[in-house]
Chain A
Amino acid sequence: MTTAPKPKYKVIGTRPIRHDGADKVTGRAKYGADIKLSGMLYAAMLRSPHAHANIKKIDTSKAEKLPGVRAVVTSKDIPEQGDRIVELGEGAVNMRHLASNVLAREKVNYRGHAVAAVAADNIHIAEEACKLIEVEYEVLAPVMDVIEAMKPGALVINPDVKDENGKPTNVAKTFCFEKGDVAKGFAAADVVIEKEFRTATVHQGYIEPHNATVHWNNDGKVTVWMSTQGTFSARQQTAELHRIPISDVKVIPMEIGGGFGGKISVYLPPVAAALSKKTGKPVKLVMDRAAVFEATGPTPGSVMKVKIGAKKDGSLVAGEAWVAFEAGGYPGSPIGMGCMCVFACYDIPNAKVDGFDVCVNRPRTNAYRAPGSTQVAFAVESIIDEICEKLKLDPIEFRLKNGSQEGTRRVDGPVFPRIGMKETVQAIKDSDHWRQPLNGKNRGRGVATGFWFNCGLKSAASATVNPDGTVSLLEGSTDIGGSRTAIAMQLAETLGIKAEEVKPSVVDTDSVGYTDVTGGSRVTFATGIAAIEAGKDIINQLKERAAIIWECDAGQVRYEDGSVHGPKGVSLTFKQLADKLHHTGGAVIGRGTSSEATQGGAFGTHAVDVEVDPETGKVTILRYTVAQDAGTAIHPSYVEGQFTGGAVQGIGWALNEEYWYDTNGTMRNSTYLDYRIPTCYDLPKIETIIVEVPDPQHPFGVRGVGEVPIVPPPAAIANAIHQAIGVRMTELPMSPPRVMKAILSK
């Protein structure tokens, strides 16, 4: 473990203790559910026992009479939305759908769908009262399967979702991307492999359930305390749903216990707000684990047909993909992004992708680390493996030959700038793991590559110089994995001071400029740029202050290595000058914003060794290595942490995680015991290799690292299983029963 900075830098590349560390190891850090306000009420939610039903009637009178109950709300307490489409930071949202997802209106579209909520003096009374609410349902047949839902006569879940002829449909959106001439491409191929793949619905599985505490004040101002990936997005969603001005809502970020894409959509704040509005008291609403599984946004299951053609010499000539994602109860799966990712790792001259967003009676799906990319990578990387086998080509050499690089055009249009796809493949090739032979029966080694765009979007930061030479940094990106420190380090590097001398705080929506969600692997990149800009602003002001002291022109002052240098060799360190600010005009406050459309794109290549038990179908991971391009690693420990954390989520997705539904559309494994996420006993050490191909769009070369590591594992493991026992797995998860079935039908 190196702690030395990179030669160019003083702070970047070191591994300081995170600024919020002491609070988090002593139990002092306050997460969403930890808040307690005076006079606070506790709320509980009544959820639908049916996957698909019309709501005929809701009678709350008995619940209201229970002593200790202060208010009951239903969808009537959220204003009618009409047919509004609103841009909510990470995409346009149909407000009627969002409102109906928060509290069901005419019908419930999935089991666990929120129907009513109660605020009471304590949580037990609220829960009892929920049981007293009488709901009359007209139960409908659940539509659970994507292919069934797409069939012409299928029962339509959302009557307002229509096809181009105005006919109601479950296919909410279709995408088509094309480049070159696909038919010609396939005609030129020596080998063509075509297969169908399926992946299960999986959940992000963050340990902290969703929560919101809301106070609707007498002046109409609403304060929300919650853990969220995006305070500004939560503010806008809450304000839009209640049809009040966004400036009337203030969102105060609590520490957040994981998100991975699942804590962007709001579920609870509008409901807690309605309860607070009725009672005049702050109301706290926290989900239980079953609700998290059943009623927040898992990431879509998929059905994919992929066909790829190559020439004998191993060059790729054509690719075609048909991809359908479960949208869940309302439209909006990450299908578009999935389509753009399908062939992103390769330079394929002719390609076509068709994508479908399909409503089914499952919870409305959401992002989960590189949304859409993991599913499609499972399909494409499995086929690439088959092609390599057919052509007797080494999968590493194949990727080095066909991999995307600067100048490669993606099927959806954009041309890659400088990227590090091949560098990650080379890193695996050079790794100890790849060079050690793997021996033993039923053992196999697999490799796969993954891509994620990484987004830019908008961030803001401000920083105040304190008289003792420290800097207080305010930012709006909620910190899920140590990003406060990564951002503080970039400001420290800019100013030439120590990481510890910057004190970062994540502040509420009234205290910092608009900042998009913590998602898209954007925070270290984009909020980092905002902090760097704030640092440059401070430097300009410091030069002016020094000029006042030295009675010279600001143009004669240089800032270098954490000091100002003036004419005739005079200089002051940052700290010395900080001490004089109060005599030269008062506080120095730097501000910075960033608004980058994109980042350069990120790639990772994983290698895995597995052993398959031919008696049970159980797959054991023997060794696992992640190589990923981080551009420039700001805090290498937290970069490695993203690699290992993402890879392990990918391993869970690959081997055992899935939503199990019965024929009524009831999820049968809505506990951690049954929806089993990997434990530390399931895994070996995950080895990491940080590849650094700096992104020219960022002053220090940062590329976001959070999302890519979840992408390659299912494909890499499938390829390893194939090498181990000669079966090709085409369905996720590759759980013992599925592997057994594949072995038996060999």
Chain B
Amino acid sequence: MAKKRVVTTKINGDTVEFLCEPRQTLLEVLRNTLDLTGAKEGCSNGNCGACTVLMNGRPVDSCLVLGVEAEGAEIKTIEGVACGTHLDEVQSAFLENAALQCGICTPGFIMQTEALLAENASPTEEQIRFYLAGNLCRCTGYDKIVQAVQSAATKRQSGCGTTACCH
């Protein structure tokens, strides 16, 4: 077994140091070492998007990133999206639009949506469907997720929602 390394990152705005073996994925570190279990493991090979987090602002499948690769990175997970007790527009839009059934895919979809809206404030339906195509949902048939993303975009643009303020 290779020696553990010390990795220093910023996670949801806080500086975090953790020890990890080279073979451990970022997903494993988040879930098992840091108890941030919001990112889910659906496949552990980059096919389902349930483990999506933002790494330096970009969405990544955290099951395809090694823990040691997170050195110096800024990570944002689903746990860092709400501001205190305020849900951000994407989170509340998912609830208002009933965009989840079992909810296991939801953290990944929300992170991917955050990345989409940061890149493109008013995406078309086609753009939404394209950008979210790496996130699998087996329950909803996707319609309500697409609607939620549209409504979050509208809310964020008109400034009437709660923008995540913490980080």
Contact = CB atoms under 8 A, between A and B. Distances in A.
Contacts of A25: 78, 82, 87, 91-92, 94-95, 100, 103, 106-107, 110
Interface string A638-672: 10111111111100000000000000000000011
Interface in A656-691: 671-673, 677-681, 683, 685-686
B143 A644 contact: yes
A484 B132 CA distance: 28
B138 A206 contact: yes
A57 interface: no
Nearest to A29: B103
A649 B138 CA distance: 7
Given A34-B37, A637-B98, A673 B79 contact: no
Given A31-B104, A124-B21, A677 B136 contact: yes
Contact of A645 (B23, B31, B79, B101): B101
A641 B140 contact: yes
Contacts of B101: 258, 480-482, 638, 641-642, 645
A26 interface: yes
A621 to B, nearest CB: 12
Interface stretch (B43-51, B65-73, B116-124, B155-163): B43-51
Nearest to A34: B37
B145 to A, nearest CB: 7
B62 interface: no
Contact of A26 (B78, B143, B146): B78
Given A34-B37, A677-B136, A648 B142 contact: yes
A257 B102 contact: yes
B40 A680 contact: no
Contacts of A30: 37
Nearest to A42: B32
A37 interface: no
B116 to A, nearest CB: 12
* Dominant secondary structure at the A interface: loop
Contacts of A257: 40, 42, 102-105
B137 to A, nearest CB: 7
B129 A681 contact: yes
Contacts of B92: 25
A84 interface: no
B162 to A, nearest CB: 13
A154 interface: no
Contacts of B105: 207, 257
A678 B136 CA distance: 8
Contact of A686 (B41, B44, B82, B141): B141
A31 B40 contact: yes
A208 interface: yes
Interface in A287-319: 288-289
Contacts of B59: none
B102 A672 contact: no
Contact of A208 (B40, B81, B91, B130): B40
Interface of A: 15, 17-18, 20-22, 24-31, 33-34, 36, 124, 204-209, 255-260, 286, 288-289, 480-482, 635, 637-638, 640-649, 671-673, 677-681, 683, 685-686
13 contacts: A18-B98, A25-B87, A25-B91, A207-B138, A256-B102, A258-B101, A258-B138, A481-B139, A643-B141, A649-B138, A678-B142, A680-B146, A681-B132
Interface of B: 1, 21, 23, 31-32, 35-45, 47-48, 50, 77-79, 81-82, 87, 91-92, 94-98, 100-107, 110, 128-130, 132-146
- For the complex of A and B, list the 4 residue pairs with the smallest distance between their C-beta atoms, beginning with the closest: A27-B38, A257-B104, A644-B141, A27-B78
Given A22-B87, A681-B129, 9 more contacts: A18-B98, A25-B107, A25-B110, A206-B138, A259-B102, A289-B42, A644-B143, A672-B42, A680-B132
